[in-house]
């Protein structure tokens, strides 16, 4: 059987004695690099130890948490400035905390443009809720509905969640 040594093990063998698990572990943990990289090296070394009969247990790495940065309202508005009417309407109602599957279920019957209310059929098997829309969201809904010439009360206004996600990612 032809066996090739993984590149990570070759790299470690040049830097430390692979038969000395304590030395190798200390070397890996002392590296300046991301936790993911160290974790990959540790896992590669674990497989090396297992295949060579070396008794060693993988140490637990402390992952540094990276704070989540939520874009500001102004930044979202800049993004929306380059979008289609449909995307703007979706983003405006997403600001109200709707999930993608809830957005995809919205029909013309769910929107009361006179009072600025949106009835949301929930995705968590709970009760439907009613949301008071901001004035700009109402204007965007009106523009989108007129542009698409939507008159059927039961037609879904927006695409399915997977299409929404693809569009947002793009």
> d(Cα 47, Cα 49) in Å, to the nearest integer?
5
Secondary structure (DSSP) of 56-69: --PPPPPPPPPPP-
Q: In what order do the strands lie in the sheet with 117-120?
A: 111-112, 117-120, 129-132
CATH homologous superfamily for 73-169? Intergrase catalytic core (1.10.443.10)
The length of the chain, given as a count of residues: 170
Most confident of the following: 33-42, 45-54, 85-94:
45-54
CATH 1.10.443.10 in the chain, residues? 73-169
pLDDT tens for 84-127 read 888 888 878 777 888 888 888 889 899 898 999 998 887 666 77
Q: Identify whether the C-beta of residue 80 lies closer than 8 Å to the C-beta of residue 63.
A: no
Q: Identify whether the C-beta of residue 118 lies closer than 8 Å to the C-beta of residue 106.
A: yes
Phi, psi of 156 (to 5 degrees): -70, 135
pTM summary value: 0.52
């Amino acid at each position: 059987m032809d066996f090739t040594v993984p590149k990570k093990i070759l790299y470690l063998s040049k830097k430390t004695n692979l038969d000395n698990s304590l030395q190798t572990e200390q070397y890996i943990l002392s590296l300046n690099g991301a936790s993911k990289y160290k974790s990959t090296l540790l896992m590669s070394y674990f497989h090396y130890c297992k295949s060579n009969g070396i008794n060693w247990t993988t140490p637990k790495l402390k992952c540094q948490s990276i704070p989540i940065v939520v874009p500001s309202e102004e930044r979202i508005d800049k993004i929306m400035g380059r979008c289609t009417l449909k995307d703007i309407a979706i983003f405006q109602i997403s600001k109200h905390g709707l999930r993608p599957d809830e957005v995809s279920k919205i029909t013309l019957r769910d929107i009361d443009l006179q009072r600025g209310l949106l009835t949301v059929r929930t995705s968590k098997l709970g009760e439907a809720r009613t949301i008071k829309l901001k004035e700009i969201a109402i204007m965007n809904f009106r523009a989108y509905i007129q542009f698409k010439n939507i008159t059927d009360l039961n037609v879904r206004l927006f695409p399915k969640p997977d299409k929404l996600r693809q569009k947002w990612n793009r």
